[in-house]
Amino acid sequence: MPIDYAKLKNWSFPDVEHRYELRDTILYALGLGCGSDPTDEEELRFVYEDGIRVLPSMAVVLGYPGFWLKNPQTGVDWKKVLHGEQGLILHRPLPASGTVIGRTRVTEIIDKGAEKGALLFSERQVIDKQSGDRLCTLTSTTVLRGDGGFGGASGPAPEPHRLPERQPDISLDLPTLPQAGLIYRLSGDYNPLHADPAVAIAAGFPRPILHGLCTFGVAGRAVLRVSCDNDQRRLESFRVRFSAPVFPGETIRTEIWRDGKTVSFRARVLERDIVVLNNGYATLAG
């Protein structure tokens, strides 16, 4: 049965109240590999409570509505869903602890045809409960591979950011831990694909893969360190397209181009020489 455009477009999301502590902030950073060199003072800023800094990418785990597309009422073939793109706009630096409200809505659905599936665009506002201040806006593109041809609008998808044609200005290699998926899942994404070997094999992978949003965060670490001197206040936005999975234990090289306040980037896995994040785009403050 084809999806109901109006029903999905107007899907009602309850507000998600999310309280997190300093421990959660540190655990998120550990999941991205921060502190792998415990003598690196730059890394310790994100995993040690004395003067702690918060990784901007932690926004993706705040006020998360859960895997709502698995709800049968959506009509979506959830087993054929892929995370296509993820974006983040920061309005204020994230506090190290607090209570936030996550407010999600579907912004559009594009029908690519029965053979090509559909694209679902969503947005989540993360709001500080106490002050009412908006902390960040998250945007996401989800590929519904099994739900095209429902008769909806068939306009073109937004063009991805074009990377410069010159060689990268700088790159940074960051290793992931063999147990990275087991740590990262404690920040809220308990999909067994990232922990259970049997589930991973059934999905066509030789072993559990890393969460795409963990890879997103590792690239965010690289951009923050190279372009912002690890000052989270200098990063305004960050967006990327997912292109291939990462296996825990692999090394992610983030290749970066700097053009004033604009940063372009992509990420590849060194062990397999494959691009895993592409068309990356970030903007800097000041």
Active site residues: 189, 194, 209, 212
The token duo for 142 is: 């989800």
In this structure, the number of other CB atoms found within 10 A of the CB of residue 241 comes to: 19
SS3 262: strand
**Residue 264 · residue 281 · CB < 8 Å:** yes
Contacts of 81 (CB under 8 A, 6+ apart): 69, 142, 143, 144, 145
Helices (H), 130-283: 180-184, 197-202, 212-228
Q: State the Cα torsion 49-54-55-58 to the nearest 10°.
A: 100
Q: Tell me the Ramachandran region of residue 154: left when phi exceeds 0, alpha when psi lies from -120 to 50, beta otherwise.
A: alpha
Helix (H) or strand (E) holding 44: helix 41-44
Contacts of 269 (CB under 8 A, 6+ apart): 244, 246, 247, 250, 251, 252, 253, 276
**Residue 51 · residue 96 · CB < 8 Å:** no
In this structure, the number of other CB atoms found within 10 A of the CB of residue 92 comes to: 13
Handedness of CA 38, 40, 45, 46 (dihedral sign): negative
| Residue 37, beta-bridge partner list | none
| Residue 78, beta-bridge partner list | none
